[in-house]
Structure 1
Amino acid sequence: MNKSKLLILAIGFFFSMNLSAQNNFKIGINAGINYPDIRGHEYAKYNNFKVGYLFGVTFDYFLKENLSLKANINYERKIKKLQLTYFNYDAEETGKEDFSEIYEYINIPILLKYEFGKSKFFANGGPFFNYLLNNKIEPDYPNDDSDVVTEQKKIDFGLSIGIGTNISLNEKNDLTIEIRDDFGIIDTGGVPKHVGGTVKTNAIKLILGWNLGI
């Protein structure tokens, strides 16, 4: 990760630490995995995505005992698998080569979180904002398709919903386990020009959080 990404996460971390000085705030860290997908044009279903990951900081501002405003600042990596098949002049297959297209984002969800009475379960929902830091293919991809797809956009926006449970460690510290779905609602580009349509994202996430007890 380069210095700009570390700086963004550090700013978010210290900003959250300052807020946590008040009793109605909690600060924590979280990490998890994601399984992304896209929709919007006829070939979207043929994209082959792999499991990626995320990590970052989180804070809760309690509006009431069971109701809070929850936000994350995450670094998130999404991965799509690409494969080239090679043929000789007799149209005979000579081999295949695998590639990974990597999308690196800053992910910021702002969620309203409700904890069900005295149970350990919660639900949350609200908007999310993604900013694309980098888009690359590893190893180097031999084909340049920049002229045959629409421009990849930096911004992604949509709705995020999740359910989870709290696991108390002691009086101040607890863990959270959450399943979350980020459902993109705007076009993010990268559509083959001969196809038309849009690309809208979706990502299922499994997230483990730790309230630091600060």
Structure 2
Amino acid sequence: MTEVLKHTEPDHFDYDDLLNICHKIEAALMSTNTEKGEMENNEKYYSYLALIDNLDRDLYSLMKPGQMIHEFDCGYSLSVENEGKQKGYNVKTNNKLIIINSAAFVLRPYQNSDNKRHYTALKVVRFNDVDIMFAVPEGTLHFVVLTKDREGDSDRFIVHFKDLKSRDKVLELFVEQLKLILRTADLKITHDTDCFKGTDQSSGGSQTR
């Protein structure tokens, strides 16, 4: 685990407000799920861009100087579950959606028509008691916020980008705002034309793509 940035102890961190903002972004993003040819004329699409553009202002009021930000990579399970259709990826810790430590993640690889296993670059950033996971399978960005102080299933927020090429500007704005939210330019979360750069463990070891 690598220390990225130190902060001082906050008086209070409002998880509910943070998650409410996340849900607003999720709802706005889902509204962009239209045919590519219609997206440029989609009023909600531009509303979403405006929401992302102003996101840092809302979150700065919540993320007071905190304890520490950590970044670490997570391992993968080796089992392939192919149910003949695309599904979301399950992230688990001890069979619950609650983060225990950096080694607790289980992320299923998926299998395409070429019958080869495809793995997902996975990053986790910890801010105070909130763990933020970035998972990047082929052509899709998953952004998950999990809080570890909840009982039972944790609250989570997942964003799907089905076609990164057609949503380059949205993705770029989203990444820049995440960097602002976490108040560090040192996070290894970068935007590329086709996908995020991250850690690929499909060959059995860690390497930067």
Q: TM-score range by the shorter chain?
A: under 0.3
Q: TM-score, structure 1 length as denominator?
A: 0.25
Q: TM-score, structure 2 length as denominator?
A: 0.25
- Decide which structure has greater strand share: 1
- Decide which structure has greater helix share: 2
For the pair shown, the structure with the greater C-alpha radius of gyration is 1
